[in-house]
Amino acid sequence: MEIIEIYNALRRRNLVADQYDFSENWLGRCRSYFSAIQSLKRPPSVKVLMVLKLHLESTRNTFKEGTAFGIYSKPNKQTLTFLDASISTLKHELQRNCIDAPNNTAINLERASNAFEDTASPILIVR
């Protein structure tokens, strides 16, 4: 699953307003990031994939807890299935991209993901 497919699926589910919203609130980048990588035909950075994965996990957990998110008061099964599939795809992509990185980057990313899941706040600041 490509990042454009994730964006389109989030858009269909009214979880993202537009490319600017996706860039800023789902990818943790400036508002033109998503359109720039598309026009330059470049893949998103590992950092961006990690942020997106964490936001998808946070959204999935919010849905599973039954708390309201966006226009939804109850999650539907298709949305949960999409979120789970997207998270799984991003996890494999991150592992593939980081497997040969120095300092066990893949292990550090997994630890960061686990730490994020353990926090009460779904806010992630990336520098």
The predicted structure's pLDDT at residue 120: 42
Task: Please return the burial class of 123, using the count of CB atoms within 10 Å of its CB with bins 0-12, 13-18 and 19+.
Answer: exposed
- β-sheet bridge partners, residue 72: 69
Q: Long-range contact list for 10-13, CB < 8 A, 24+ apart?
A: 13/79, 13/82
pLDDT per residue rounded down to tens, the chain (127 residues): 689 999 999 998 888 999 999 999 999 999 999 999 999 999 898 899 999 999 999 888 888 777 655 555 566 788 888 888 998 988 888 887 765 455 555 555 555 555 555 444 444 444 4
